[in-house]
Chain A
Amino acid sequence: MISVCFPAKNEGKFIERNVKVARRTPNVMEVIVIDGGSTDNTIKKALKAGAHIVYQSDLKYPGKGIAMRDGVYYARGSIVVFLDADIKNLDSSMILSLTKPIVNGEADFVKGAFGRKAGRVTELVAKPLLRMFYPELTSFSQPLSGEIAGLKSIFLSVSFEEDWGVDVGLLIDLYRKGFKIVEIDIGFKDHDMKPLYLLTDMAYDVAKAILTRAMMDGKIDKISYDKYIKAIPEEIGEFK
Chain B
Amino acid sequence: MRYIVVGGGHISQFILRTIASSDRKAVITIIERSQEKATVTAKQFNAEPLWGDLENPKILEKANISICDLFIASTEIDALNIRLCEAAKRVYGVPFVIGVVNNPLNSEIIKKAGADIVLDPIGLALRILELKVKRYGCISILKEDECGFNFSILKFKDSTSIVKNENIKIILIRNGKPAEDDVVARGDLLLAIGSGKEFNEAVKKMLKE
A35 touches B105 (CB 8 A): yes
- The answer, yes or no, to whether B103 is at the interface (CB within 8 Å) is yes
CA distance in complex: A74, B75 (Å): 14
Interface majority SS on A: helix, strand, loop or mixed? mixed
CA distance in complex: A71, B77 (Å): 10
What's the least CB distance linking A132 to chain B, in Å? 32
Count of interface residues, chain A, beta-carbon cutoff 8 Å: 16
B79 touches A70 (CB 8 A): yes
B79 touches A54 (CB 8 A): yes
Q: Give every chain B residue within 8 A of A122 (Cβ-Cβ).
A: none
Give the residue of A58, A72, A74 whose beta carbon is less than 8 angstroms from that of B102: A58
- The answer, yes or no, to whether B202 is at the interface (CB within 8 Å) is no
Q: Give every chain A residue within 8 A of B103 (Cβ-Cβ).
A: 55-59
CA distance in complex: A53, B53 (Å): 24
Bitwise, A35-62 to B at CB < 8 A (1) or not (0) is: 1000000000000000001111111000
Q: Which range contains the number of B residues in contact with the other chain?
A: 10 to 19
Give the residue of A54, A69, A73 whose beta carbon is less than 8 angstroms from that of B109: A54
CA distance in complex: A64, B47 (Å): 36
What's the least CB distance linking B55 to chain A, in Å? 6
Give the residue of B77, B102, B105 whose beta carbon is less than 8 angstroms from that of A73: B77
Q: Give every chain A residue within 8 A of B82 (Cβ-Cβ).
A: 54, 74
Q: Give every chain B residue within 8 A of A59 (Cβ-Cβ).
A: 103
B78 touches A54 (CB 8 A): yes
Q: For chains A and B in complex, what number of residue pairs have CB atoms within 8 angstroms? A: 43
What's the least CB distance linking A71 to chain B, in Å? 7
- The answer, yes or no, to whether A229 is at the interface (CB within 8 Å) is no
Interface majority SS on B: helix, strand, loop or mixed? helix
Give the residue of A53, A54, A156 whose beta carbon is less than 8 angstroms from that of B55: A156
Task: Give the nearest-CB partner of B106 in chain A.
Answer: A55
- The answer, yes or no, to whether B174 is at the interface (CB within 8 Å) is no
Task: Give the nearest-CB partner of A74 in chain B.
Answer: B79
Bitwise, B27-52 to A at CB < 8 A (1) or not (0) is: 00000000000000000000000000
What's the least CB distance linking B32 to chain A, in Å? 14
B102 touches A57 (CB 8 A): yes
- The answer, yes or no, to whether B80 is at the interface (CB within 8 Å) is yes
CA distance in complex: A56, B106 (Å): 9
What's the least CB distance linking A222 to chain B, in Å? 21
Kindly identify, within residues 174 to 202 of chain A, every residue whose CB is under 8 Å from any CB belonging to chain B.
none
B55 touches A73 (CB 8 A): yes
CA distance in complex: A71, B109 (Å): 14
- The answer, yes or no, to whether B76 is at the interface (CB within 8 Å) is yes
What's the least CB distance linking B132 to chain A, in Å? 22
A57 touches B109 (CB 8 A): no
- The answer, yes or no, to whether B143 is at the interface (CB within 8 Å) is no
Task: Give the nearest-CB partner of B76 in chain A.
Answer: A57
B105 touches A57 (CB 8 A): no
Kindly identify, within residues 75 to 122 of chain B, every residue whose CB is under 8 Å from any CB belonging to chain A.
76-80, 82-83, 102-103, 105-106, 109
CA distance in complex: A57, B105 (Å): 9
Q: Give every chain B residue within 8 A of A69 (Cβ-Cβ).
A: 77
4 further A-B contacts with Cβ under 8 Å, apart from A55-B105, A56-B78, are A34-B79, A55-B103, A70-B80, A156-B55
A-B contact pairs, 10 of them (CB 8 A): A55-B105, A55-B106, A55-B109, A57-B76, A57-B106, A59-B103, A70-B79, A71-B79, A73-B79, A74-B82
Interface residues of A (CB under 8 A from B): 34-35, 53-59, 69-74, 156
